Structures are given as C-alpha cells and as structure tokens.
Structure 1
C-alpha cells in the first residue's frame, strides 16, 4: 500500500490545504476502494478522516515522526489477501495497520467492510461508530500502541475511549469485561 490503489477514489481533506487535516499537521488520505462503504456509513470518508485525526491528536507523532496515514476502505477479499501476504493468516480481519516502509512515508490502515459490519451488528453498535473505533485503533498501532500484554491493552483501550469521547461516540469498552 502506501499509495492510492488502482480504482480507488481518494477523498480530499475536510479543512486546510490538500494533504492536511484541519491545519493540525496530520496528513490523512482516505481511499475508498469498495463503494459499498458509502451505503454502510454516510460520509464515510469524512468519518474515517475525523477518527484518524482524533487518534493523531491523542497519540501525537510517534518517535519516527509518523503523522501521516492512508486509510483504505475496502472489502473482505482484499483484507484477506493483505492479511495472508503480510501476516500469514489467510482470512479477513477488521483492521490491519502497516507502518511506513521508509521514514517520511505514511503508514497504512486497511479496513474490511464485511467484517466491520458483522462485528458492529454483534456488538449492537452502528457501523459508523465501529469504523471510527477501528480507524483510531489502527492509527494508534502506527503510533506505537499495542495490546499484546494486559497493561498495554488497558492503556490502548483508555486512549481509544478518549478518542471516541472526542468524536462524541460511545466508549466501545464500556461494559466489556
């Protein structure tokens, strides 16, 4: 990834100059590869961009200065392929994060519509809220957050809860044991 996929439609920024989000210095590109996202989430590219900007505002640039991301809104088949190619797991997943190959390039976050829809339905959340949470989750991974150990997971969950509050969306961790 790291560049617009063939056939993908990129969204320009909501505010500020091209490539900037709200003048915050975060370079956020949202690529709509699967147009079915539009019917699942109104203004989906704006929703994804706002979630990424909120995650950057929460986490700040990482030690390598990452403050840029390309968010790929795609389908299960594409994420299954990426998951197989990069993680050896030949199945779709909700979100994948890829750090940049070289300093100064954006990291990538890819989201699978089918998985996101199913998870939202099971959790009783809107697809929009779940998408926002997962975009934030993916960006936090690019910024160095992880959830492999209990302490790391709690810190990441708290950061995600603050991001969701900033977006005026429900805390995805409320009521989760």
Structure 2
C-alpha cells in the first residue's frame, strides 16, 4: 500500500462518479448523522460477494469506525480485482503489480476520497497470515481511511502511530490486533 499523494488526487479511472444526491449508501435506510462519513461501497468484482458474506455492510462498518468524528465527508470503497488494482498501481505509482490497497484523496480542499482493495491479494495475505479474510479486509479498509485522515507510515515513528490507531479501531470492531504477530501486510510497499 502506498499512501495517498497530492499528485494522485484525481479519481482513478474506472471508478464511477457518485452523486451526493444518489441516496443513502449501501445498507443505510436513513440520512447520515451529521458526524458520520458518507460511505459508498462499490463491489466492482462480484467474487467479493462469495468471499465475504455481507461484504457491503462489513466494509461500511469498518469505514465508519475509522472515520469516526472527523466530520462528514464522502468516501468510496471499491472492491475490485488484482488486475484492476495492478493497472492503477502501474499508472499512479509506476509499479506494474497488484497491491492490497490504494488510496486516492479528492482534490485539495475537498474531504474524503477513494479506497480501492484487491480481492486476490487480500485472499493471499489473509491465508498467509492465518486470518479470516473478513478481518484482513476490515484492516485494509481502516488502513485506507486512516490515510484519508492524514496518517502515513514512511517513517518508523509515524508507522508505529498508525499501527496503534489501526489496532485501537479494529479492537472496537472485535477484530484481533493484526500487528501482534507481525506479518507486514497492511502498509507494505508492494
């Protein structure tokens, strides 16, 4: 995962524009409270539905927990394939291989952004770590949202601070601490 950057602030190709007037996000039946993020979940690769039961609701829950009271902002989580993520990783980071998560901020002055997650990479990493795929997915959603909130992990100190925040949020979601037995999955520069 590579953190967001100011030069990558445009929406990535292939992500549909979502109108704020389009209605409530997946799984919502009423307007959002003032302090919650507007979270849209796009399941671009339908295999996600077979990999994670109730994937839309799970992603919504993790995104809202990570955004907390940072104010209302539109966030789009796109669940896609390694092929799509590899293409975006090549275009925006000059790395022609898939990665677990990519984060794109909206243009300067606009809160929110897009978080894109690759199914096959998430499956491989979860299997390698002996973790349920749903837990790893929630971790990557939290990781991506923390980047949108301004967190980074280029330096050891900021990486540790970000890991602690991830662990705190995941604990509230009843997801075991992914950093307890380090495998370096989220935040790795793949």
Both structures adopt the same fold (TM-score exceeding 0.5): yes
**Counterpart selection for 1:166 from 163, 172, 178:** 172
In structure 2, the partner of 1:106 is 112
1:143 & 1:55 partners in 2: Cα distance? 9
How big is the shift at 1:15?
5.1
**Counterpart selection for 1:46 from 57, 72, 75:** 57
Gaps of 5+ in 2: 1-10, 18-23, 184-190
2:126 & 2:149 partners in 1: Cα distance? 25
In structure 1, the partner of 2:137 is 131
- SS of the aligned residue for 2:96 comes to coil
**Larger relative contact order (C-alpha < 8 A, sep ≥ 6)?**
2
How big is the shift at 1:4?
5.0
How big is the shift at 1:11?
5.2
In structure 2, the partner of 1:70 is 76
1:93-125, Cα deviation, whole Å (9 max, x unpaired): 000000102533630000000000000000000
CA contact (8 A) 2:27 2:56 kept: no
How big is the shift at 1:36?
0.2
1:1-177 alignment, distance < 5 Å: 1=11, 4-5=15-16, 12-14=26-28, 16-17=30-31, 20=32, 24-57=35-68, 60-61=69-70, 67-104=73-110, 106-176=112-182
CA contact (8 A) 1:34 1:73 kept: yes
1:80 & 1:72 partners in 2: Cα distance? 14
Deviates more, 1:127-136 or 1:100-109: 100-109
TM-score of the superposition, structure 2-length normalised? 0.80
2:25 & 2:73 partners in 1: Cα distance? 18
How big is the shift at 1:66?
7.2
CA contact (8 A) 1:55 1:136 kept: yes
TM-score of the superposition, structure 1-length normalised? 0.85
Root-mean-square deviation (CA, aligned residues, Å) is 2.3
1:13 & 1:166 partners in 2: Cα distance? 20
Q: How many residues align?
A: 166
1:109 & 1:51 partners in 2: Cα distance? 12
How big is the shift at 1:23?
5.8
Gaps of 5+ in 1: none
